[in-house]
Amino acid sequence: MDMQKIPAREGNHNLKDYQKMRESFSWDDMKKNFSWSETGKVNIAYETIDRHADNPDTKDKVALIYSAPDREETRTFDELRKESNQFANVLKKYGVKKGDRVFLFMPRSPEFYAAFFGILKIGAIAGPLFEAFMEQAVRDRLQDSQASVLVTTPELLPRVPQDDLPDLQKIVLVGENDEKDEKYIDYQREMEAASDQFDIEWVDLEDGMLLHYTSGSTGKPKGVYHVHNNMIQLYATADWVLDLKDDDIYWCTADPGWVTGTSYGIFGPWLKGVTNVIRGGRFTPESWYETLQDNKVTVWYTAPTALRKMVSAGENLPEKYDLSSLRHVLSVGEPLNPEVITWGLKALNLRIHDTWWMTETGAMLIVNLPSEEIRPGSMGQPIPGVEATIVDNEGNEIPPNQMGNLAIKTGWPSMMRAIWNNPSKYESYFVNGWYVSGDSAYRDEDGYFWFQGRLDDVINTSGERVGPFEVESKLIEHPAVMEAGVIGKPDPERGEIIKAFITLNEGYEESPELLEEIRQFVKTGLSAHAAPRELEVKDAIPKTRSGKIMRRLLKSWELGLPTGDTSTLEE
């Protein structure tokens, strides 16, 4: 097979549909798929869950298959409707109102989904936090968002700060506990007492629903603010790109603490009313093959880092499993290596479809559609209704085959509407009518986009965005560390790993024990995925005369590359 171009196959729509759509497409027409196109009043929780529970044909359809090593359960659409109603009533009882921020800090479980939709039904804004976060990461996010309620588990409670959170009124505990303070709410007890009937708070399309914190190259993580209007594009892409049909069994591997885990782990599949597999527990290639096999998964949305692990686990491994149900595979979060696509064709007998988007974009923008040819190594082409290009630093478009900043014409439905409490940061994303992504890429003559790297210092490790500033800040809290500079170092399996350069305070000697202690300090204070895998002690950290850490220079040293312009380097 010509690996440069992998031919298309049929999806929900054929190639001609897409060609027509790309020429004359209006997002307004997409709205006709929703009941609210008549009333104007919406709630994404209604469209994802209750709509299917209202329909006698889908009321008792399995919406959720939950499988974790110690727990297997299912929920129908009707059950999810009732449980989320109950949780909305619990929130109402404790005074939560439209626009309040309610955060979730817990592992994936059926309770997570009931709580998530309960929050949306009352018109509040949900803030899911990655379960691996440690105290500092949790504090930063709860402080910035001024969350009034947190839903967590007794196991994770020790990582929830007990001070500096004046806005946090209540903590809902999911799981056995004996907390007596009236600050705590027992999930089980309250749910049993709550009615399963609830009048949904109807909101405007532009009302908030979700805050996802994400890292940039400077400062603390930023709250990316999304509104109910996202549903239009989430529905469209679930149809066109995930290619979901009524009887699909769908599995998205992402945690709802990250945007893929909400946009396509929750909204996309359930807007389309399919059965959604949620897997808890840790990752091994074997357990993932089992999940695909045992649940007869038909559509699978995952990430290059997982696929690369499966590749290294051996080509013969897939033969041990019955994967005959699987018909469509997609990837997001990092560059999808052509070798992985080749592996997919051989081992799974399927194409792997790369998709590109960001927390800020809310939904997929550049994709490989089922009925279009794939060019391995390319992220694909913009979806209908989206215009993408490559711009220079001034926001001027540049011709094909030249590298520049990947940019999107503003106005797609799922675009973030704000950075929480930070209007100037929000403004900084836009130049000349374009949303400028910070990814470098080029576009070929046929309109396929090719990812090249990040233009800033943001690190992408196993598909998770890590801001160097956050890690540096934590490192220098350790008494031994004077200064720190953090970079992403290329790694065949993880994409990048985090490498930290540090200088030591007087009185401290470099030793393997000390370095391990510092590593653990970040791991237990911030989060496991942000802990540097490599630590190197230096005599000095290169900085500009204005005191900015020159991470670029650290990176060039690390990779043995030319150091470029160092005229701003401090003496």
Judged by beta carbon, residue 406 or residue 531, the one nearer ligand WTA is 406
Judged by beta carbon, residue 276 or residue 437, the one nearer ligand WTA is 437
Kindly state the smallest distance separating residue 112's Cβ from ligand WTA, in Å: 19
Judged by beta carbon, residue 165 or residue 358, the one nearer ligand WTA is 358
Kindly state the smallest distance separating residue 333's Cβ from ligand WTA, in Å: 5
Q: How far apart are the first and last CA of the chain?
A: 57
Kindly provide the b/e burial profile for residues 539-565, where b requires at least 16 CB atoms within 10 angstroms of the residue's own CB: eebbbeeeeebbbbbbbbebeeeeeee
Judged by beta carbon, residue 148 or residue 263, the one nearer ligand WTA is 263
Neighbouring-strand partners of residue 213: 223
Judged by beta carbon, residue 110 or residue 370, the one nearer ligand WTA is 370
Kindly state the smallest distance separating residue 301's Cβ from ligand WTA, in Å: 11
- Give the residue at shortest CB distance from ligand WTA: 359
Kindly state the smallest distance separating residue 263's Cβ from ligand WTA, in Å: 8
Structural Rg of the chain based on CA atoms? 24
Kindly state the smallest distance separating residue 428's Cβ from ligand WTA, in Å: 15
Q: Which residues bind ligand WTA (CB under 6 A)?
A: 214, 258-260, 332-335, 354-359, 379, 437, 439, 451, 454, 460, 465
Kindly state the smallest distance separating residue 93's Cβ from ligand WTA, in Å: 35
Q: How far is CA 20 from CA 17, 367, 410, 458, 540, in A?
A: 5, 17, 22, 37, 59
Q: What angle do CA 93, 99, 104 make, to 5 degrees?
A: 70
Distance separating alpha carbons of residues 378 and 148, to the nearest angstrom = 43
For 163, which DSSP code? S
Quote the tokens at residue 39: 């009333």
Kindly state the smallest distance separating residue 257's Cβ from ligand WTA, in Å: 10
Judged by beta carbon, residue 123 or residue 335, the one nearer ligand WTA is 335
Distance separating alpha carbons of residues 309 and 319, to the nearest angstrom = 16
Judged by beta carbon, residue 67 or residue 355, the one nearer ligand WTA is 355
Judged by beta carbon, residue 118 or residue 333, the one nearer ligand WTA is 333
What is the DSSP track for 204-229?
Answer: -TTSEEEEEEE--SSSS-EEEEEEGG
Q: Are 251 and 329 in contact (CB under 8 A)?
A: no
Kindly state the smallest distance separating residue 453's Cβ from ligand WTA, in Å: 8
Quote the tokens at residue 346: 């051989």
Residue from 80, 120, 83 nearest 104 by CA: 120
Q: What angle do CA 500, 501, 504 make, to 5 degrees?
A: 120
Q: Are strands 125-129 and 101-105 parallel, antiparallel or unpaired?
A: parallel
Distance separating alpha carbons of residues 54 and 364, to the nearest angstrom = 29
Residue from 320, 336, 369, 330 nearest 350 by CA: 330
Kindly state the smallest distance separating residue 438's Cβ from ligand WTA, in Å: 6
Judged by beta carbon, residue 365 or residue 553, the one nearer ligand WTA is 365
Kindly state the smallest distance separating residue 338's Cβ from ligand WTA, in Å: 12
Q: What angle do CA 519, 525, 526 make, to 5 degrees?
A: 90
Judged by beta carbon, residue 214 or residue 302, the one nearer ligand WTA is 214
H helix intervals, 55-109: 77-93
Tokens 């018909």, residue located: 327
- For 56, residues 6+ apart whose C-beta sits below 8 A from its C-beta are none
Judged by beta carbon, residue 336 or residue 475, the one nearer ligand WTA is 336
Kindly state the smallest distance separating residue 336's Cβ from ligand WTA, in Å: 6
